[in-house]
Amino acid sequence: MTRMSNLMIQMPRYNYECNNCGEIVVVFHGIEETCTDCKACEQKDTMKKTLSVPFIKKTHTVSGVNSKVGELTKEYIEMNKEILKQQKQDIKKETYEPS
């Protein structure tokens, strides 16, 4: 259990929102992983990464989903880049700090 806790602390934190039931969860996982399945309503591929700040609330229209997916993917990539950048800075900070 202790080992697990240590691992959790090092993991980046992500907010996810379920498109199906609206459940918002905080998930810890690696930067290249994603969480897609909702544990609340047990649906698959409904979880979308969100920022903790209010994000553009998606309307629940189904048409035109395909064109939106590309845009969203781009946003997620940008988001990940930002997170990566922040993490690198954090790591640097830790490295330079004498222990």
Binding residues for Zn ion (CB under 5 A): 18, 20-21, 23, 38, 40-41
Evaluate whether 28 touches 11 at the Cβ level (below 8 Å).
Answer: yes
Of 35 and 83, nearer to Zn ion (C-beta) is 35
Element (H, E) at 47: strand 47-50
Cα 11 to its chain centre, rounded Å, is 11
Minimum distance between the CB of residue 79 and Zn ion, rounded to whole angstroms?
21
Cα separation, 14 vs 55, in Å, equals: 13
Minimum distance between the CB of residue 43 and Zn ion, rounded to whole angstroms?
5
Cα 64 to its chain centre, rounded Å, is 23
Of 25 and 83, nearer to Zn ion (C-beta) is 25
Minimum distance between the CB of residue 18 and Zn ion, rounded to whole angstroms?
3
Minimum distance between the CB of residue 4 and Zn ion, rounded to whole angstroms?
25
Of 3 and 44, nearer to Zn ion (C-beta) is 44
Evaluate whether 24 touches 35 at the Cβ level (below 8 Å).
Answer: no
